[in-house]
């Protein structure tokens, strides 16, 4: 199972942030303008840690937080990725 998506961050200094999660081990890669800035080795089962924060921009700085949510089947089993920019909810991506 693989999930990948990109989204823009910034107004005057626009950057493309990419998020990718691949494989049964849930390896996570976060990139800025195509350059990987965060990589995990993954693990079996749920993504741990499940919150990743990266700072984007030089002149116009933004804090991007990517949160991987995987509920247990007894809780409904929903799996999604929430993205926050500067502490505000930006969007939800299905997993």
The three-class DSSP label of residue 36 is: strand
Prediction pTM value: 0.87
CATH number for 43:
2.40.128.180
Total domains, the chain: 1
Indicate the pLDDT class of residue 33, thresholds 50, 70 and 90: very high
Any bridge partners for residue 15, and if so which? 9
> What per-residue confidence (pLDDT) applies to 46?
65
The encoded tokens of residue 41 equal 């080795």
37, 30 in Cβ contact below 8 A? yes
């Amino acid at each position: 199972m693989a999930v990948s998506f990109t989204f823009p961050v910034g107004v005057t200094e626009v950057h493309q942030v990419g998020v990718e999660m691949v494989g049964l081990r849930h390896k996570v890669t976060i990139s800025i303008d195509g350059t990987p800035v965060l990589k995990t080795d993954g693990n079996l089962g749920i993504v741990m840690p499940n919150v990743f924060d990266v700072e984007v921009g030089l002149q116009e700085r933004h804090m991007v937080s990517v949160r991987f949510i995987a509920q247990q089947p007894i809780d409904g089993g929903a799996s999604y990725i929430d993205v926050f920019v500067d502490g505000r909810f930006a969007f939800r991506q299905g997993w």
